[in-house]
Amino acid sequence: MMLQRWLPLMLAAAGCFSEKAIDLQLEPPPSSIASQYSPSCVASVEVWLNGATYPTNEDDASRGCVPLANKNTMTWDAILDAVRGQYEADMPDSGFGGVEVYGYAGPCEAGALNDYDLIFYSHVEYEGGDTVKVPITPNLSCEQADIKVRPIDLLKLIKTGQCAQATYAVGKMALTTLSPYPWTNALTWWGGQNGANIAADGTATFRGLTKTGPDTCLALSNFTSVWESVSCAGPPEQRACATGAEIETPVINFNVATATQELPKITKWGSLVVGAAWGTAPLAGATVTIDPASAGEVVYYDMPAGVENGVGGLTVRGGTATGPSGLFGIYTRELVKITISHNGRTATRMVGGYDSEYSQVALVKL
């Protein structure tokens, strides 16, 4: 059985059937990128040593966690120093398939590490040789900012055409990220610890981490008795109702989102993002494309009477453009770029689907 020892720049593997060490060189981000992201809130580093049959066999992996409480994590070099000599584990019997490294804002003792913000990650497959470089990718900067989130009830906005009638005031809103999982590009949710209850004015105000890395999206989640929604935040110029520095996040009733899903498409793609094209009212005749096209499927919807009250689901209208409701859907589990076109105008947005058990929404103003 190979023995793996974690060092900041070397993970040495040697054992009864191999005298030759495999050096895993953990590398900080390039200086131009590292200077833009602070790792100061990292509280633990999780290491996955994957066997040769992972991820087909999800159990073919060895996982461990290095606590960083009371250690210097102010710089990327300090992170590497803090984990020096702190981790070791046995290699899976199938051999060395690859390594994953995750830096969290939460402790090793957390019930679920993905409940805490993911600050950095790396995942590398082993392709042979004596040395494997493991470059770190920032996911979030630890610098906090004041945040005001305005959740919008998407279907009530479409029904009434009035932002004042579309206030969503159930539960709390929290910050998360939707970040790609290794080798499949399927998105995983990390975060949810920074948030606040929705106040009487229809906003939630709190502090949190908002600067995301190059391969992730800042997302907002809604919690009632359980987590019910998670959606990528859009750019300020595409907001329909929010003003000032508010972050707008559309929400639809979870039961409506579930009733709208088509089982064959969920089975194929894994998740549904419900979207709407908006001007000063819903935009009929808008077309939607996704990039990469192979990552999902576009559908268009009509809005039956009463669905805005949480009864039933949206109905597929067919065709190649939005109807009077402006509604469309993106089946995907990846982070994709959507392009919405209407009467010579276009808008682009990154959206991502997480899971069929959550409602995911995009409201795009052209």
Residue 209 · residue 196 · CB < 8 Å = no
Residue 292 · residue 265 · CB < 8 Å = no
Residue 104 vs residues 73, 231, 338: alpha-carbon distances, Å:
12, 21, 30
Distance CA 259, CA 37 (A): 41
**Residue 26 confidence (pLDDT):** 77
Over its C-alpha atoms, the chain yields an Rg (Å, rounded) of: 22
**Residue 3 confidence (pLDDT):** 36
- Candidate ranges 20-29, 63-72, 260-269; pick with highest mean pLDDT: 260-269
- Candidate ranges 30-34, 84-88, 210-214, 272-276; pick with highest mean pLDDT: 272-276
Q: What are phi and psi of 178, to 5 degrees?
A: -110, 115
Residue 39 · residue 68 · CB < 8 Å = no
Distance CA 259, CA 345 (A): 32
User: Could you tell me which residues are beta bridge partners of residue 167?
Assistant: 152
**Between residues 16 and 126, which one has the greater pLDDT?**
126
Distance CA 151, CA 187 (A): 22
- Candidate ranges 119-123, 127-131, 224-228, 312-316; pick with highest mean pLDDT: 312-316
Per-residue burial over 218-256, b if 16 or more Cβ lie within 10 Å, else e, is bbbbbbeeebbbbbbbbeeebbbbbeeebbbbbbbbbeb
Q: What is the pTM of this model?
A: 0.90
Sheet holding 204-209, edge to edge: 204-209, 144-153, 247-251
Distance CA 328, CA 222 (A): 21
* pLDDT above 90 for 334: yes
**Residue 14 confidence (pLDDT):** 35
Distance CA 181, CA 65 (A): 18
Residue 48 three-state SS: strand
Q: Which domains does the chain have, with CATH numbers?
A: 3-138 (no CATH), 144-365 (2.60.40.10)
Residue that has been written with the tokens 């579930």 in this structure? 258
DSSP 8-state class, residue 92? P
- Kind plus residue range of the DSSP H or E element containing 79: helix 76-82
**Residue 96 confidence (pLDDT):** 85
pLDDT band at 150 (very low <50, low <70, confident <90, very high): very high
Percentage above 90 pLDDT, the chain: 73
Residues in the chain: 366
For the residues of 208-246, what is the DSSP string, one character each? EE--B-TT-EEEEEEESSSEEEEEEPPPGGG-SS--TTP
What mean pLDDT do residues 262-270 have?
Answer: 97
Calculate the CA 11 to chain-centre distance.
29
Q: Of 228, 222, 213, 261, which is closest to residue 117 (Cα–Cα)?
A: 213
Residue 91 · residue 2 · CB < 8 Å = yes
Distance CA 273, CA 361 (A): 5
- Kind plus residue range of the DSSP H or E element containing 34: helix 31-34
What mean pLDDT do residues 217-239 have?
Answer: 95
Summarised one tens digit per residue, pLDDT across range 33-84 is 999 999 999 999 998 889 999 888 988 988 889 999 889 999 999 998 888 7
DSSP 8-state class, residue 155? H
* pLDDT above 50 for 4: no
Residue that has been written with the tokens 């990327």 in this structure? 76
Residue 102 three-state SS: strand
Distance CA 71, CA 344 (A): 55
For the residues of 174-203, what is the DSSP string, one character each? EEEEEEEPTTT--EEEEEEEEEEE--TTS-
Question: Would you state the structure tokens that stand for residue 24, as one six-digit string?
Answer: 């895993």
Q: What are phi and psi of 229, to 5 degrees?
A: -145, 155
